[in-house]
């Protein structure tokens, strides 16, 4: 199963990929110095195997304007973003700007239209996340991670939250939230469902289904329950093959 983070691009076989790393406020002189001292081996490899160099900034040298010029190829007078904010009429109030206020198509938008897969992570002035052919995680102009439009596709947020919590999210992940307990024949709340799955976990692992339970209580005792596939030969599946033998059943 391929997902947003799948590196394969089966739609364009044989095509080369490009990976761009931008450091906001990063001094090329300092980066070069630390690379020469052996302190930045990852940067050293990128510089050796790729292309590295300083970029000319926009006249006002403000990040909101510079990043928007980077993604559109237009100067601030054409894309319309000079700052992170602008004065409203009368100059009495400020209005904060976001990526949705710019004029001009983005690099990844044009690539998506051409059928290429793209991924954008934490680039300033990209909120709301653009509906690209791939994924987009908005930058610092987003109000917050729970804001509508923070990521594209929207279901990617649950995977990111699981990663941040330290839980594995292999291919084949399925989220089961407490609303499933409203269905006929299911336990009355997320707590009851998670307790049943906890008892079944060894047997499920033996047949290749991993279970991750988030015990933090939500409204009405809800739980985050995550089922995911375990590759054949994985340590967790092999260990469960012995410990989980036998049948486990119960009435729910």
Residue 225 has pLDDT above 80, yes or no: no
Q: Is residue 164 part of a domain?
A: no
Residues 151 and 179 in one domain: no
Residues 63 and 97 in one domain: yes
Q: What is the 3-state secondary structure (H, E, C) of the chain?
A: CCCCCCCCCCCCCCCCCCCCCCCCCCCHHHHHHHHHCCCCHHHHHHHHHCCCCCCCCCCCCCHHHHHHHHHHCCCHHHHCCCCCEEECCCCCCEEECCHHHCCCCCHHHHHHHCCCCEEEEEECCCCCCCCCCEEEEECCCCCCCCCCCCEECCCHHHHHHHHHCCCCCCCCCEEECHHHHHCCCCCCCHHHHHHHHHHHHHHHHHCCEEEEEECCCCHHHCCEEEEEECCCCCHHHHHHHHHCCCCCCCCC
Q: 153-169: per-residue pLDDT in tens?
A: 998 888 888 777 655 54
Count the alpha carbons within 13 Å of 55 in the hemisphere toward its beta carbon.
18
Q: Give the number of domains in the chain.
A: 2
Residues 151 and 213 in one domain: no
Q: Which of 232, 140, 248 is nearest to 200 (CA)?
A: 248
What is the rounded distance in angstroms from the CA atom of residue 91 to the CA atom of residue 85? Answer: 12
Residues 66 and 116 in one domain: yes
Going from the C-alpha of 86 to that of each of 58, 80, 95, 97, 139, the distances in angstroms are: 17, 11, 5, 7, 19
Q: What's the length of the chain?
A: 252
Q: Is residue 251 part of a domain?
A: no
Residues 32 and 130 in one domain: yes
Residues 117 and 49 in one domain: yes
Q: Is residue 74 part of a domain?
A: yes
Range of the domain at 82: 28-156
What pLDDT does residue 246 have? Answer: 34
Q: Among 156, 188, 220, give the residue marking a domain's end.
A: 156
Count the alpha carbons within 13 Å of 227 in the hemisphere toward its beta carbon.
15
Q: Is residue 85 part of a domain?
A: yes
Residues 110 and 206 in one domain: no
Q: What is the CATH number of the domain that holds 94?
A: 3.40.720.10
Q: Is residue 71 part of a domain?
A: yes
What pLDDT does residue 162 have? Answer: 75
Our CA angle for 222, 223, 229, nearest 5°, is 145
Q: 86-98: per-residue pLDDT in tens?
A: 988 877 789 999 9
Residues 140 and 186 in one domain: no
CB 208 within 8 A of CB 240: no
Mean pLDDT calculated for residue range 196-205 = 65
What tokens were used for 1?
Answer: 């199963």
Residues 138 and 73 in one domain: yes
Q: Is residue 14 part of a domain?
A: no
Residues 71 and 179 in one domain: no
What is the rounded distance in angstroms from the CA atom of residue 239 to the CA atom of residue 210? Answer: 12
Mean pLDDT calculated for residue range 58-62 = 93
Using 50, 70 and 90 to split pLDDT, how confident is the model at 31? very high
Q: Is residue 48 part of a domain?
A: yes
Select the more confidently predicted residue: 84 or 217: 84
What pLDDT does residue 109 have? Answer: 97
Residue 50 has pLDDT above 60, yes or no: yes
Q: Is residue 21 part of a domain?
A: no
Residues 218 and 149 in one domain: no
Residues 43 and 139 in one domain: yes
Q: 98-143: per-residue pLDDT in tens?
A: 999 999 999 999 999 999 999 999 999 999 999 999 999 999 999 9
Residue 69 has pLDDT above 90, yes or no: yes
């Amino acid at each position: 199963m391929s997902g947003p983070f799948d590196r394969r691009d089966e739609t364009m076989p044989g095509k080369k990929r490009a990976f761009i790393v931008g450091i906001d406020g990063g001094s090329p002189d300092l980066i070069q110095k630390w690379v020469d001292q052996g302190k930045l081996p990852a940067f050293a490899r990128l510089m050796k195997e790729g292309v590295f160099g300083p970029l000319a900034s926009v006249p006002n040298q403000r990040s909101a304007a510079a990043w928007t010029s980077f993604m559109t190829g237009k100067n601030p007078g054409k894309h319309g973003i000079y700052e992170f904010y602008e004065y409203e009429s009368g100059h009495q109030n400020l209005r904060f700007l976001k990526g949705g206020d710019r004029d001009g198509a983005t690099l990844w938008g044009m690539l998506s239209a051409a059928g290429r897969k793209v991924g954008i992570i934490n680039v300033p002035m990209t909120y709301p996340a653009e509906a690209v052919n791939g994924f987009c995680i908005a930058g610092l102009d987003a109000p917050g991670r729970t804001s509508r439009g923070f990521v594209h596709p929207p279901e990617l947020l649950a995977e990111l939250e699981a990663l941040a919590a330290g839980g594995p999210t292999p291919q084949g992940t399925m989220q089961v939230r407490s609303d499933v307990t409203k269905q006929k024949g299911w336990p009355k709340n997320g707590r009851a469902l998670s307790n049943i799955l906890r008892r079944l976990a060894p047997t499920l692992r033996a047949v290749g289904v991993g279970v991750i339970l988030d015990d933090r209580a939500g409204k009405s005792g809800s739980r985050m329950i995550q089922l995911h596939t375990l590759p054949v030969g994985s340590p967790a599946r092999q260990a469960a093959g012995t410990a989980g033998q036998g049948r486990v059943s119960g009435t729910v």
